[in-house]
Amino acid sequence: MTEITPLDTAHAAMEAAPADDAARLGFYARLADGELFLLLTTEPKGDQIDPETFEIADGTFVLAFDREERLAQFVGRTAPYVAMPGRVLAGMLAGQGIGLGVNLDVAPSATLLPPEAMAWLADTVANAPSEVEARIAAVIPPRGLPESLVTALDAKLATAGGLAKCAYLAGVEYDSGAKGHMLAFVDAVEAARPALAGAVGEALTFSGIEAGMLDVGFFDATDPMAASLARAGLRFDLPEPERPSPRTPSAPGSDPSKPPILR
């Protein structure tokens, strides 16, 4: 039986409702968060990679697949490739005038994404919320938030293992009189805070929600505010990180802060 992958499911939902922005955003969210296997002409040399390119009437494209087996099925032979998150691949292609062929000829999610789509995706995942200073006067249970946002946050935080102890979604009232909602991280790794804030921004974008609808905060577990958030907020537990083998070399594209270099 042929495996139906999460990307297949998201693509089918988009195809079934072409006018539904939420379905379209859901496909791009899955593409950005998932691992893709990019077909190469030669084995990677350090951080340098040489993707196989294909010229068609619609332009120049590279090919990627969401399963190694699908890449092998398409090529029909042993071929070099590199694995990387979709967000990294989008950033690599942005501005190059190169589009992306996904799962061509081997899966129901086969699709061609033009260079403009890759540039949009790269810009979307690169956006980070602006930083503001405000004092919280009261914490209340979250109300009126769409289920799509809660689902998107849950999916995003499931990929952030080890970056924070947990997070709380709560309503907040500031001393200025302003009211809103906040996703508050508890005991977040200092260096990971920009990435966590960016992940929340992505969840908002891919949910079709305005970015100003949710603030992001960081608190130590010993902060009295953390106790208030625990009493009133909806808790998200971040998974424990997997411990990688110390002998496993890093592959090009595996570290989003060090994207591979096109040759």
Q: Hey, how many other C-beta atoms are within 10 angstroms of the C-beta on 172?
A: 24
pLDDT (tens digit, 9 = 90+) per residue, 107-130? 999 999 999 999 999 988 876 665
Render pLDDT for 224-240 as a digit per residue (tens, 0 to 9): 999 999 999 999 999 88
Tell me: do 28 and 100 sit in the same domain: yes
Q: Are residues 94 and 22 in the same domain?
A: yes
Can you give the pLDDT at residue 63? 97
Q: How many domains does the chain have?
A: 2
Confidence of residue 203 (pLDDT cuts 50, 70, 90): confident
In-domain check, residue 244 = no
Mark whether 174 and 232 lie in a shared domain: yes
The 10s digit of each residue's pLDDT in 45-77 is 878 899 999 998 889 999 999 999 999 999 998
Asked if 194 and 233 count as a contact pair (C-beta separation under 8 A), the reply is no
Examine the domain organization and report whether 146 and 111 are in the same domain.
Answer: no
- The answer to whether residue 115 is domain-embedded is yes
In this structure, what CATH number is given to the domain that contains residue 211? Answer: 3.30.429
Listing DSSP states for 170-187 in one string gives: EEEEETTS-EEEEEEEES
Q: Is 0.75 surpassed by the pTM of this model?
A: no
Last residue of a domain, one of 126, 161, 182: 126
User: In the chain, pLDDT over 90 holds for what percent of residues?
Assistant: 55
Q: Which of 94, 126, 158 is the last residue of a domain?
A: 126
Q: What is the helix (H) or strand (E) element at residue 153, kind and residue range? A: helix 147-157
Instruction: Please check whether residue 1 lies inside any domain of the structure.
Output: no
Q: Chain-wide mean pLDDT for the chain?
A: 86
Residue 258 lies in a domain: no
User: Domain residues for 233?
Assistant: 136-237
20 in a domain, yes or no? yes
In a domain, 14, yes or no: yes
User: Does some domain include residue 131?
Assistant: no
Contact criterion met (CB below 8 Å) for 170 and 142 = yes
Q: How far is CA 195 from CA 65, 127, 132, 175, 201, in A?
A: 26, 10, 17, 28, 10
